[in-house]
Amino acid sequence: MNILVTGGMGYIGSHTCVELLQAGHTPIILDNLYNSNLAVLDNIAEITGKTPVFVQGDIRCRETLDGLFAQHKIDAVIHFAALKAVAESVQKPLEYYDCNVTGTLVLLQAMQAAGCNTLVFSSSATVYGSENQVPFCEDMPVGTATNPYGSTKIMMERILQDMAVANPDWKISLLRYFNPVGAHPSGKLGEDPNGIPNNLMPIICRVAQGKMEELLITGNDYDTPDGTGVRDYIHVVDLALGHLKALDKVVQTPGCSIHNLGTGKGLSVLELVQAFEKASGITLPRRFAPRRPGDIAESYANVDRAARELGWQAKHSSAEEICQDVWRFLTKSNKR
């Protein structure tokens, strides 16, 4: 299939493009390079032996989108492009609503005009909010967002569900990612955010690289086995493979479906730090700090629906494999 991949130069998008190419699909990447760089294209090509079509442009530009749909016979869209930094979204709500919500609306309008009605959308476990109990299940009501980033995901899910009701021939897959981590086993692709990272794994990497002085473990008084926050860390290659399974399913399933992509198991901050130290041989300077505002104690998925309906489950997401792959990416790509 010809797949328009918005945000395909980013962390999850680039890994998904590799899996799409290796499965014989044709990704067409649209990315404005706000949080990625051109070298990713070479790295995708080195891994797969194929260079995908890449257009540098913005999802909010209708002209660019119309041009892409006119030029390529696009069978489906995987929509990754978004701004995703939680803390930044509190400072810059307008930018976040504009990029994420307006961008999605423009994309949907262009899809409708072009007669393309199959979409896989990057949602997030953040939509469960703090009201639900773990493990989070797809049929739970969505929670209340504690920041504009989370609000954009809740809004976009709602918009897409409304689209599917109004247009029964649309086929939409909402994928709720838990905590994506890890890197391609080749060491050629991984998470390399522009600017100051917010998430635990990129911060661990910066500390290991000596680019940040120490890791602040934000909260050690949660009601969890060791007091630190628990999350469901999913290897980015597992996540990428989940998109292929979702794509296979969505093309034959009108309506809007929702699937969690996680491992079903929680890992604490300390457990992840220890696994990273073992894989890298580096002792990370760290200390305990107060909880981050808006954080919940635990987040992990119920993954039964993805297993049952998509035939997908995480296979590469042990803490050991995740940290070994991240370490290989840091060392091999000379990012140390």
Q: Which does 151 bind (CB under 5 to 8 A by kind): ligand UDP, ligand NAD, none?
A: none
Q: Shortest approach of ligand NAD to residue 81 CB, angstroms?
A: 4
CB nearer to ligand UDP: give 27 or 182.
Answer: 182
Out of 106, 216, 251, 307, the residue judged to bind ligand UDP by CB under 6 A: 216
CB nearer to ligand NAD: give 81 or 183.
Answer: 81
How many CB atoms are closer than 10 A to CB 73?
11
DSSP state of 173: E
Out of 31, 138, 238, 321, the residue judged to bind ligand NAD by CB under 6 A: 31
How many residues in the chain?
Answer: 336
- Of all helices (H) and strands (E), which one includes residue 329? helix 319-332
How many CB atoms are closer than 10 A to CB 91?
10
Q: Shortest approach of ligand NAD to residue 184 CB, angstroms?
A: 13
Mind spelling out the 3-state secondary structure of 96-111? HHHHHHHHHHHHHHHH
Q: Shortest approach of ligand NAD to residue 162 CB, angstroms?
A: 19
CB nearer to ligand NAD: give 192 or 321.
Answer: 192
**Which part of the chain contacts ligand UDP (CB under 6 A), choosing from 2-10, 48-56, 214-222, 311-319?**
214-222
Inter-residue contact 186 to 47 (CB < 8 Å): yes
Out of 2, 22, 60, 137, the residue judged to bind ligand NAD by CB under 6 A: 60
- Could you give the residue numbers annotated as active site? 149
Please compute Rg for the chain using Cα positions. Answer: 19
Q: Does 122 bind ligand NAD (CB under 6 A)?
A: yes
CA distance 72 to 30: 13
CA distance 288 to 221: 10
Helices (H) and strands (E) in the chain, counts: 12, 13
Out of 3, 4, 5, 10, the residue judged to bind ligand NAD by CB under 6 A: 10
Phi and psi at 231, nearest 5°, equal -135, 165
Nearest in space to 141 (alpha carbons), one of 161, 153, 127: 127
CA distance 186 to 197: 23
Q: Which does 243 bind (CB under 5 to 8 A by kind): ligand UDP, ligand NAD, none?
A: none
Q: Shortest approach of ligand UDP to residue 216 CB, angstroms?
A: 5
**Whose CB is nearest to ligand NAD?**
10
Name which of residues 125 to 184 contact ligand UDP (CB under 6 A).
179
Residues that bind ligand UDP (CB under 6 A): 179, 198-200, 203, 216-219, 229, 231, 269, 292, 295, 299
